[in-house]
Amino acid sequence: MVKLLEPQTMLKGRYRIAGPIGQGGMGAVYRAEDTLLPGRICAVKEIAPDPDIEPDMLTQLQEQFRREASVLARLDHPNLPKVSDYFTHKGREYLVMDFVPGHDLREIIEEALKENRFIEERQVLDWADQLCSALSYLHKQSPPILHRDIKPSNIKLTPSGLIKLVDFGLVKLLTSDEARTVTVVQGQGTAAYTPLEQYGGDDTHTDIRSDVYALGATLYHLLTGRAPMTARERFLRPEALALPHTINPAISPGVERAILTALALHPDKRPADIATFQAMLHESGGSVITPLLLTTHEWRTAVQTNTPLLVTAGILIILALIVTP
pLDDT tens across 50-75, in order? Answer: 777 788 887 887 887 888 888 888 99
pLDDT exceeds 60 at position 319: no
Q: Which domains does the chain have, with CATH numbers?
A: 16-98 (3.30.200.20), 103-298 (1.10.510.10)
Residues near 279 by beta carbon (within 8 Å), at least 6 away in sequence: none
pLDDT exceeds 80 at position 310: no
pLDDT band at residue 158 using 50, 70 and 90 as cut-offs: very high
Spatial CA neighbour of 221 closest among 104, 74, 50: 104
63 neighbors 42 (Cβ within 8 angstroms): no
* Percent of the residues in the chain that have a pLDDT greater than 90, as a whole number: 58
Q: Is the dihedral of CA 56, 178, 270, 134 positive or negative?
A: positive
What is the pLDDT, as a whole number, of residue 307? Answer: 57
The SS3 assignment for 15 reads strand
Q: What is the pTM of this model?
A: 0.79
Question: Which residues form the catalytic set?
Answer: 149
CA distances for 136 relative to 211, 213, 217, 239, 263, angstroms: 10, 14, 17, 31, 18
When the pLDDT of each residue in the chain is averaged and rounded to a whole number, the result is: 82
pLDDT band at residue 311 using 50, 70 and 90 as cut-offs: low
Instruction: Report the C-alpha gap between 171 and 182 in whole angstroms.
Output: 9
pLDDT band at residue 205 using 50, 70 and 90 as cut-offs: confident
What is the pLDDT, as a whole number, of residue 168? Answer: 56
Q: How far is CA 114 from the centre of its chain?
A: 24
Query: What's the pLDDT tens digit per position in 283-305?
Result: 964 333 333 333 444 444 444 54
